[in-house]
Amino acid sequence: MGEKLKALVLEENGVLRYRDVADPVIGRDECLVRIKAAGICSSDIHRAFESGAYHYPLIMGHELSGVVETVGPDVRQFKSGDRVAVFPLLPCFECEFCRREFYAQCMKYDYYGSRRDGGFADFLAVPEWNLFPVPDEVDLAAAALLEPFSVGVHAARKITVQAGQTVAVLGAGIIGLMVSRFLAATVQPDQIFVLDRNVLKLRIAADFGCQTVLILPGLDWKKEFIKQTGGVDHVIETCGAAEVYRATVDLAKHHGNVVWAGNIDGDLHWGRQTVSSVIRKELKIYGCWNAWYTHKNDDDWHAALEFIRQYSGCQDWITQKYPLAQGVEVLQKLRNYKLPQQRLPGETIIKTIFVEEKETGC
């Protein structure tokens, strides 16, 4: 390609290097995408530092946008220069769920950034089917948020909020904010409670009109919330903390709905009383993973794109931009941020992305 290509490579658990890599080779139905923006997911931190990788070496990165560089001979929908985002799951197209267009439930799927090399790199070869067109008016940094935003849409669509019903969104990270904003556009925002430990994140949710609840250290927040509200009709867990997963059952009213969307950070141990609550309350618990992607206008990705087009404030959710060359230090910083004892006072990180160096704004 006439230039040495670079990538951030996870060589073994906890060992990352920014180094030269081989040129990608595109297949007949693939496009070579120059990566312009790559978001860092909390799962990337687990994969890098907590023995979470399927194999080593690995190039992580699955929240991606870029520009098509070249196309294979069988590509029909894209050409050089097209702006795109990447749906990171590669389905088999043969199993029961693929035939029903539930591709995220594919029984033999592959995945960029985990099962195969992903987009923490200069270039990535991507099948035409996995490319999502990005209109000119959408910034490519924002387009890298389409993957996590579509997950938030998917979680929000698990429930139907009736007049007078209430929702608790547990966690105000990128997914929780998207859930809250999406719901606030379709129901009365004051029906939505957003709970988090971070004041600045809650201020964003308050801008949507949602009611916010600050979880203070040492406070029995669950007991206090139930005392003030009597519980809610719908609970959506987005932060992944095992203690918060346990709380979902207690916060839900009888005949309530619980949605589990966060990547859980530990084992979930339920006692007899909790299981009995699920039974007696006749709760419905929905698992929620990934998003509905079909290339049809009503799928989760199109809904996420429409949100980005209409709500320019989502750019503010990108709190940090760095060039990929700083990737080793950046991932270490984000690992430390997950440890409260190492977090800087007043520091708030919602979404960190890698972008081309000229666009970092740092």
Residues 139 and 177 in one domain: no
Length of the chain: 362
Of the candidates 147, 78, 81, 98, the one whose C-alpha atom is nearest the C-alpha of residue 119 is: 147
**Is residue 21 scored above 80 in pLDDT?**
yes
Query: In sequence order, what E strands does the chain have?
Result: 5-12, 15-21, 30-39, 58-59, 63-71, 83-86, 89-90, 110-111, 123-127, 131-133, 167-170, 192-196, 211-214, 232-237, 252-260, 284-287, 318-322, 351-355
pLDDT average, residue stretch 180-207: 94
pLDDT at 343: 60
pLDDT at 337: 86
| Tens digit of each residue's pLDDT (9 = 90 or more) over 252-306 | 999 999 999 998 888 999 999 999 999 999 999 999 999 999 999 999 999 999 9
| Tens digit of each residue's pLDDT (9 = 90 or more) over 149-179 | 999 999 999 999 999 999 999 999 999 999 9
Residues 212 and 334 in one domain: no
Confidence bin at 361 (pLDDT 50/70/90): very low
* End position of a domain, from candidates 287, 314, 335: 287
Residues 234 and 333 in one domain: no
Of the candidates 177, 141, 182, 84, the one whose C-alpha atom is nearest the C-alpha of residue 315 is: 141
Confidence bin at 346 (pLDDT 50/70/90): low
Q: DSSP code of 243?
A: H
**Is residue 358 scored above 90 in pLDDT?**
no
Q: Could you tell me what percent of the chain has a pLDDT over 90? A: 88
Q: Which residue has the tokens 């080593």?
A: 56
**Is residue 66 scored above 80 in pLDDT?**
yes
Asked if residue 118 belongs to a domain, the reply is: yes
Residues 280 and 304 in one domain: no
Q: How many domains, the chain?
A: 2
Residues 278 and 198 in one domain: yes
pLDDT average, residue stretch 217-238: 94
Q: CATH number of the domain that 172 lies in?
A: 3.40.50.720
Query: Which domain, by its residues, includes 337?
Result: 5-149+291-359
Asked if residue 110 belongs to a domain, the reply is: yes
* End position of a domain, from candidates 287, 322, 344: 287
Q: Which residue has the tokens 């923490």?
A: 120
Asked if residue 295 belongs to a domain, the reply is: yes
Q: What is the pTM (predicted TM-score) of this model?
A: 0.94
Residues 143 and 11 in one domain: yes
Asked if residue 154 belongs to a domain, the reply is: no
How many CB atoms within 10 Å of residue 10? 26
Structure tokens that stand for 343 in this block? 């977090």
Q: Residue 173 is which amino acid?
A: G
Comparing 218 with 160, the larger pLDDT belongs to 160
Confidence bin at 17 (pLDDT 50/70/90): very high
Return the SS3 of 184: helix
Residues 16 and 138 in one domain: yes
* End position of a domain, from candidates 254, 270, 287: 287
Rounded-to-integer distance, Cα 2 and Cα 13, Å: 32
pLDDT at 362: 34
Determine the distance from the C-alpha atom of residue 88 to the mean position of all C-alpha atoms in its chain, rounded to a whole number: 12
Residues 121 and 241 in one domain: no
Which of the residue ranges 8-17, 38-47, 304-313 would you say has the lowest mean pLDDT? 304-313
- Mean residue pLDDT of the chain comes to 94
